[in-house]
Homo-oligomer: A and B are copies of this chain.
Amino acid sequence: MRVLLIEDDTVLGAAVRDQIKAEAHSVDWVTRLDEAGDHIAAASYDLVLLDLMLPDGRGLPFLRELRKHGDVTPVIILTALDQISDRIDGLNAGADDYMVKPFDLCELSARLAAVARRYTGNPNPLVNIGDLEVDLAARSVRRQGKLLPLTAREWVLFEGFVQHPGQILSKTQLEERLYAFDTEIESNTIEVHISRLRKKLGREKIDTVRGMGYRLGEA
């Protein structure tokens, strides 16, 4: 399921994003309404989470505009406690539901599940890397439909490359991905994992940038 999160609070936004991800949906998170408009125009979502108080304009007119154009994507609005009238207006403007901040993540899960139950089916976006199909939400990699089994470590590394295409990731950065801040490591572990990844996915998927790190293959 694809979810668009429109929320300017970075702390709350990150928490919500992570929770949705944890339920294996894919999330696009934007902090401004104009961005949101671009995203909605470009992709089709199964659910929109809309904060009503945003820096660049109120969410209500945005929602009305959306509905006016015939968009029927389920929208759940997020409001603060003291904005009761907003809530009513929101529902009248075409929102399907609302949540009062601060809300429990369990509550979010329940709403997600409710939407997912009647959701029409935009599959999670697939990223194509050469002949590979990567599903970040499901944590799977396929070649010609065939599942390529990656281990936990291998997946964490590869995910890093897919999320930052074209960017060089140093060994240090990769180590930090693998070992959250604590364990020091002193050997060529990263090299070994890269080697194993290449063996499974194809040599050309990961480029070596000598002295700097690694990068997702161009072709």
Find out whether the CB atom of A106 lies under 8 angstroms from the CB atom of B118.
Answer: no
| 0 or 1 for each of A8-46: is its CB under 8 Å from B? (1 = yes) | 000000000000001010000000000000000000000
| 0 or 1 for each of A165-185: is its CB under 8 Å from B? (1 = yes) | 011100001000000010000
Q: In the complex, which range does the number of interface residues on chain A fall in?
A: 35 or more
Q: Contact partner of A107 among B88, B137, B152, CB < 8 A?
A: B88
Given contacts A138-B166, A140-B166, A212-B139, contact A88 B106 (CB under 8 A): yes
Residues of B within 8 A of A22 (CB): 173
Residue A127 CB within 8 A of the other chain: no
Chain-B contact segment, one of A96-104, A187-195, A198-206: A96-104
Nearest residue, chain B, Cβ from A22:
B173
Given contacts A110-B88, A110-B91, contact A164 B24 (CB under 8 A): yes
Residue A69 CB within 8 A of the other chain: no
Q: Contact partner of A138 among B24, B92, B167, CB < 8 A?
A: B167
The oligomer's copy count stands at 2
Given contacts A152-B210, A164-B24, A211-B152, contact A84 B113 (CB under 8 A): no
Find out whether the CB atom of B212 lies under 8 angstroms from the CB atom of A106.
Answer: no
| 0 or 1 for each of A59-90: is its CB under 8 Å from B? (1 = yes) | 00000000000000000000001001001100
Residues of B within 8 A of A100 (CB): 84, 91, 97
Residues of B within 8 A of A24 (CB): 164, 167-168
Residues of B within 8 A of A110 (CB): 87-88, 91-92
Find out whether the CB atom of B97 lies under 8 angstroms from the CB atom of A117.
Answer: yes
Residue A151 CB within 8 A of the other chain: yes
Since A111-B118, A138-B167, A149-B209 are in contact, a sample of 20 more A-B pairs with Cβ atoms closer than 8 Å, ordered by chain A residue number, is A22-B173, A24-B164, A24-B168, A81-B91, A84-B99, A88-B106, A88-B107, A92-B110, A96-B117, A97-B117, A97-B118, A98-B114, A135-B166, A137-B167, A139-B167, A140-B166, A151-B211, A152-B209, A152-B210, A152-B212
